[in-house]
Amino acid sequence: MSDTILAIDIGSTKICAIIAEIKEGKVQIQGHGIAKSQGIKKGAITNIELASKAIKKAINDAKRIAGSNMTSATVSISNAYAKSLNSTGVVNIPHKDISIKEINRVMQTALYNANVPNEYEVVHVLPYNFRVDDQDFIEDPFGMNASRMEVDVNIIMTQKSNLLNLKKAVRSAGVEIDGIVLSGYASAIATMDEDEKELGVAVIDLGGQTSNLVIHTGNSIRYNDFLGVGSNHITNDLSMALHTPLQIAENVKIRHGNLIETSNEIIELPIIGDEENRNNVSLEIVHSVIFARVEEALMILAKSLEKSALKEQIGAGIILTGGMTKLKGIRELAQSIFPAMPVRIGKPSDIDGLFDELKDPAYSTVIGLLLYKAGEHTQYEINFQQELLHSKIGYEDNLGDIKLGNTVKEVAESREPNLEKKQKGTSGDSESIIFDDLPDIGSENSNPLKKLANWARQLF
């Protein structure tokens, strides 16, 4: 079974829309569109009409390439107005076996116990520690025998006004929102591997106008922070320091941006408001301006990492992603600011149909949105629509005392008497029916009421 999805990363410098098909958990990209952001500053929508036009352009380009018309989308939301808080839920297990129903109940209890402010809307409820009876750090409580279960969760929420403005802008572009994912969370999904998840890792997304920090330890995101500084600030700094137009400053940053080597080479640049004269500028000045801004941003993020009180749990170190990571020498600079921690540049996961253009760290968030929809979310998280997300497809909550883990021998032994009864022409009483034989009931009883009665007898 396949599902076609639309993912939209609404950033401060660009908007990227991708249409992809999900088949058996695998993502196949069919089309993408990229538009320059308008009406969005530092992750927040400042002009709904302009933002909507830019979103619509990106969506239309993606539709044209993919050849499919999408009416709903999963959208990223900036860390700018996101806050998080921790909560705990406790439930008793009456039937002693933990099912999806019990896991949902304990997650909802943790959410109910949280003191969520009225002006905030919950986006994610992420479980990072399950306790079953007195046993701590249970990876997956499903199917366990217990009398009591507890869960520690990290609740990520955002301002309602910010969420409503986002919905208005996307709706004006002709698409409804069917999923919302924190942008830092999406970037982490796209760049982390299994070992890093296991050991604990900090993902820093250095974007155009904003930078995000998320820490993944245990089984999920435990901490998120936001910094309103990005690569556009480097461009602004260069423009002011060199008295040159913004577009020229951007070109200088891309061409000569280097955080390791300095050069005494002189370049000639136009002056703002003066078309006749030009300035001679040393690349040493360019280096010092860029270095100062990047160092400042990374130092602030390092302080945030200390503040999280989770630094000791980050065994896999730091992943840097986002557009700013294209600056030469940024990994080496980050390594000096985060001593004794490995640092690597994270590119998005390689998925089928991924255009070369999208293999850039700047597109980690939008790739993360696709992977989130393909099932790479945190197991048992509660999403923006208050649904419990899990991969236990096929397990029903109302199976009662039916054993999930029957051995091959038990199944064979329980089938033999049933087969003998069928061969003798007797239907047998309801007690002899086993779960594996339930589908056969329909062939023996064409009457739907009889079928329902037999089903009910077995379950209850």
**What's the rounded mean pLDDT across residues 220-232?**
93
Question: Cα torsion for 35, 36, 38, 44, to the nearest 10°?
Answer: 90
User: In whole numbers, what is the pLDDT of the chain averaged over residues?
Assistant: 86
Q: Which two tokens stand for residue 186?
A: 């999406």
pLDDT for residue 417: 44
Q: Sheet of 318-321: strands edge to edge?
A: 220-227, 211-217, 201-206, 318-321, 343-345
Dist CA 337 CA 302 (whole Å) = 7
Q: What is the mean pLDDT of residues 38-62?
A: 94
Instruction: Taking residues 18-38, report their average pLDDT.
Output: 93
pLDDT for 393 beyond 70:
no
Q: What is the mean pLDDT of residues 154-174?
A: 94
Neighbours of 339 (CB within 10 A): 7
Residue 204 pLDDT exceeds 60: yes
Tell me the one-letter amino acid at 126: L
| Per-residue model confidence (pLDDT) at position 191 | 96
Query: How far is 123 from 179, CA to CA, in rounded Å?
Result: 9
Instruction: Say if CB 340 and CB 269 are below 8 A apart.
Output: no
Number of C-beta neighbours around residue 313 at 10 A: 16
Residue 244 reports pLDDT greater than 50: yes
Q: What's the pLDDT score for residue 397?
A: 46
Distance between CA atoms of residues 149 and 127, nearest Å: 13
- pLDDT recorded at residue 447: 58
Cβ–Cβ < 8 Å for 258, 288: no
User: Which pLDDT score, from 0 to 100, does residue 137 have?
Assistant: 87
* Torsion of the alpha carbons at 275, 279, 284 and 287, rounded to the nearest 10: -20
Q: Give the DSSP letter of residue 316.
A: S
Report the share of the chain in percent with pLDDT over 90: 72
For residue 412, is pLDDT > 60?
no
pLDDT category at 392 given cuts 50, 70, 90 is confident
The count of other CB atoms within 10 Å of the CB of residue 156 is 26
Mean pLDDT, residues 183-206 taken together: 95
Q: What pLDDT was estimated at residue 43?
A: 86
Domain ranges of the chain: 408-459
* CA distances from residue 413 to 87, 169, 410, 426, 441 in whole angstroms, order as listed: 47, 61, 5, 19, 19
Cβ atoms 325, 208 nearer than 8 A: no
> Has residue 257 got a pLDDT over 80?
yes
Residue for token digits 């994912």?
Answer: 181
Looking at residue 347, the DSSP 8-state letter turns out to be: P
Q: In this structure, what is the dihedral angle of CA atoms 393, 397, 403, 405, given to the nearest 10 degrees?
A: 30
* Tokens read off for 113: 């116990």
Q: What is the pLDDT of residue 129?
A: 93
Distances (CA, A) of 150 to 51, 155, 222, 306, 424: 43, 16, 17, 28, 51
Give mean pLDDT, residues 257-270.
89
What pLDDT is attached to residue 394? 55
* Cα–Cα dist 144/453, whole Å: 30
Average pLDDT over residues 17-30: 92
- Produce one character per residue of 444-456: b if its CB has 16 or more CB atoms within 10 Å, e if not: ebeeeeebeebbe
Residue 409 is predicted with a pLDDT of 38
Read off the pTM: 0.83
Helix axes 283-307, 246-256, angle to 10 degrees: 80
Sequence-ordered list of residues with C-beta below 8 angstroms from that of 284, at least 6 positions apart, any chain: 262, 263, 264
User: 35: which strand partners?
Assistant: 15
* Contact assessment for residue 313 and residue 200, using Cβ atoms and an 8 Å cutoff: yes
pLDDT, tens only, 104-152: 999 999 999 999 999 999 999 999 999 999 898 899 999 999 999 999 9
User: Pick from 50, 51, 55, 19: which is nearest to 34 by CA?
Assistant: 55
Q: Write out the H or E segment, with its range, that includes residue 135.
A: strand 135-138
Round to whole Å and give the CA distance between 86 and 391: 24
Token code pair at residue 283: 């690349």
Q: What is the mean pLDDT of residues 211-237?
A: 93
Sequence letter at residue 379: Q
Q: What whole-number percentage of the chain has pLDDT above 70?
A: 85
C-alpha count within 13 angstroms, C-beta hemisphere, residue 443: 5
> Three-state SS for 90?
strand
Range scoring the smallest mean pLDDT among 162-176, 278-292, 323-337, 440-454 = 440-454
pLDDT at 210: 93
Work out the average pLDDT over 36-43.
92
- CA pair distance 237, 249, nearest whole angstrom: 9
What's the confidence (pLDDT) of residue 391? 86
Give the confidence band of 349 by pLDDT, cuts at 50, 70, 90.
Answer: confident
Output the pLDDT for position 405.
39
Write out the DSSP string of 191-231. H--HHHHHH-EEEEEE-SS-EEEEEEETTEEEEEEEES--H
pLDDT of residue 174: 94
For residue 425, name the pLDDT band (cuts at 50, 70, 90): very low
- Cα separation, 98 vs 397, in Å, equals 10
pLDDT of residue 365: 96
What per-residue confidence (pLDDT) applies to 428?
A: 41
